[in-house]
Structure 1
Amino acid sequence: MTLTDTYTLNNGVKIPQVGFGTWQSKDGDEAYNAVKVALEAGYRHIDTAAVYGNEVSVGQAIADSGIPRDELFITTKLWGVGTTEDAAKALDDSLQKLGLDYVDLYLIHWPNPKAFRPDFESRNAAVWKAMEAALEAGKTRAIGVSNFHRHHLDKLLKTAKVVPAVNQIMVNPSDQQREIVSYNVKHNILTEAYSPLGTGRIFEIEELKALAEKYNKTVAQVVLRWSLHKGYLPLPKSVTPERIIENTQLFDFKLSVEDIAFIDGLHGKAGLASNPDEVDF
């Protein structure tokens, strides 16, 4: 296994099995340098979003890398718009900021933005039409969702012509979201794990420190390896060059069956993800 080994999405598109996340990377030098280092370290899968506000810097780092476009996998996401027309424009805006003709994956970022409650079903159906049209037009190679729970997906699938290829959710040892993962598997939807290190919270779990010592690895490396074992696609984020590189060093060890089961038992140890139907945005 390597950073460039792939999963196959439900439409046949290949996606590198580890991606580099850019959530909370500030636009400008911080995001630019992080992506630059990540690409130099071997990442070929970069994940950003319109609401992150860093698409320009991410796109510049991609351009300056000199890596051929067809060797990269770039994801961005649709934020809080509610119509088919606005969703189409949002993708065009993201492409312009990224300096790209197409992205490889485009996601509905949030299933139930506050502005569209309680009628998220109609909103998601409307924006999904734009995403299906973008897929057909070649502006993206795959489409999917993020932060969707079972009831959001059930309603989307009532009208969708294309089944989402990905559901990007917060997944880490402290928040395993097993019901959603099971739903994804049943519908051949890949689980992408954002915040696979629990936005740093997993480092508070003392049991993981001992486990990392056993393998002569960092806690982050152990947890990312667990994520791969579970069949998830982790999206580790860092702006520290040493940690960006460290998070690529996942392929020279394997966790035992017993240690995987032990990590499975850490659910809830360091907090859980927010409920998308209750957040204030």
Structure 2
Amino acid sequence: MSTTPLLKLNNGVEMPALGLGVYQSTPEETVPAVETALRDGYRLIDTAAAYRNEKEVGEGIRRSGLDRGELFVTTKLWLSDYGYDSAQRAFDTSVANLGLDQLDLYLLHQPAALDTEEWVGAYKAAEKLLADGRVRAIGVSNHTPGQLRALLDRADVVPGVNQVELHPYFIQRELREAHDELGIITQSWSPIGGITRYWPHAPNGGRSALEEPAVTELAAKYGKTPAQVVLRWHIEHGVCAIPKSVRPHRIEENFDVFGFSLTPGEVATIDALDTGLRSGPDPETVRLDSFGRR
């Protein structure tokens, strides 16, 4: 069984470099997906209050029989619960759903630049949870460099992680450079580019990085699948990837990326697929009603 490399956050907490995401996994699919992933060697599971499957993630963890200390569990605070007091109540609900006493990582799911006080209040609540030992690390998701700096102007704790859209068509070079400057780990959602297929009106819609010659030729060279090559590309960049799947063979396949490596030139070849266009929501304009009911 492969062992996941660990990335050290800015407070010394270590996080696996590869995990299972459960966005769009139905409750019925989530329990067996989490069980399968943990059996196959995954130790990081990423969920969110907005995914409505925290209870099932918790059940999958319990069924795995693994010791809690072996796992790294992340969930996220949704926009509707921003604000200091609301965030603390929402955290209590999430850990109750998961059946855990402590989280490894708690993220603000979206920026809320149009409601600054509630956004900052939510992060202050996360800082308090960290100080009280109820979480081991805190961070954000979908924040731009400008939003990170605006938050840090009023925060005491630098986020350990920023989880963002990142794949070969949108490599987020500027953001990753800002993360390096600030001491923040980059974590990628939709790491193999699924967002280009399921998000309405995606600028890269209809395209798949898994069909690009830059990827397929490397897959043939190394005897790997295109998805494995793309996930290895994330690892080479020092980025944590959280691919989603509910299919047992895909979950196993996505984890089998530690027995080979890409050269700097090969990494650059995949980098060159960048279009500079995000396919998901624009963090600069996001607001609660952008997503419909959660």
Q: TM-score, normalised by structure 2?
A: 0.89
Q: Deviations over 1:74-95 (max 9, x none)?
A: 0000001231000000100000
- Measured in 1, the distance between the counterparts of 2:17 and 2:32 equals 22
Residues 20, 181 of structure 1: alpha-carbon distance in 2 compared, 3 angstrom cutoff = same
Query: For residues 139-178 of structure 1, what are the structure 2 equivalents within 5 Å?
Result: 139-178=134-173
Show the counterpart of 2:251.
244
Show the counterpart of 2:205.
none
Tell me, which stretches of 5 or more residues in structure 2 are unaligned? 198-207
Shift of 1:202: 2.2
Show the counterpart of 2:67.
68
Q: AA paired with 1:278?
A: T
Show the counterpart of 1:104.
104
Show the counterpart of 1:208.
215
Show the counterpart of 1:259.
266
Show the counterpart of 2:11.
11
SS at match of 2:85: helix
Residues 273, 43 of structure 1: alpha-carbon distance in 2 compared, 3 angstrom cutoff = same
Show the counterpart of 2:201.
none
- Measured in 2, the distance between the counterparts of 1:163 and 1:202 equals 33
Alignment: residue pair count: 275
SS at match of 2:75: strand
SS at match of 1:226: helix
Show the counterpart of 1:88.
88
Shift of 1:253: 1.1
Q: AA paired with 1:75?
A: T
Shift of 1:277: 2.4
Shift of 1:268: 1.9
Mapped pair 1:187 → 2:194 = no
SS at match of 1:35: helix
Aligned Cα RMSD in Å?
Answer: 1.7
Shift of 1:206: 4.1
Show the counterpart of 1:138.
133
Shift of 1:53: 0.5
Query: For residues 4-43 of structure 1, what are the structure 2 equivalents within 5 Å?
Result: 4-27=4-27, 29-43=28-42
- Measured in 2, the distance between the counterparts of 1:155 and 1:196 equals 26
Residues 271, 78 of structure 1: alpha-carbon distance in 2 compared, 3 angstrom cutoff = closer
Show the counterpart of 1:277.
284
CA contact 1:3–1:17 (8 Å) conserved in 2: no
- Measured in 2, the distance between the counterparts of 1:46 and 1:95 equals 14
Residues 278, 211 of structure 1: alpha-carbon distance in 2 compared, 3 angstrom cutoff = same
SS at match of 1:181: helix
Shift of 1:273: 3.6
Shift of 1:275: 1.0
CA contact 1:23–1:237 (8 Å) conserved in 2: yes
Q: AA paired with 2:88?
A: A
SS at match of 2:147: helix
- Measured in 1, the distance between the counterparts of 2:160 and 2:83 equals 21
CA contact 1:6–1:17 (8 Å) conserved in 2: yes
- Measured in 2, the distance between the counterparts of 1:244 and 1:264 equals 25
Shift of 1:30: 0.3
CA contact 1:205–1:269 (8 Å) conserved in 2: no
CA contact 2:2–2:41 (8 Å) conserved in 1: no
- Measured in 1, the distance between the counterparts of 2:276 and 2:182 equals 29
Shift of 1:207: 3.3
Tell me, which stretches of 5 or more residues in structure 1 are unaligned? none
Residues 159, 278 of structure 1: alpha-carbon distance in 2 compared, 3 angstrom cutoff = closer
Shift of 1:142: 0.3
Mapped pair 1:118 → 2:117 = no
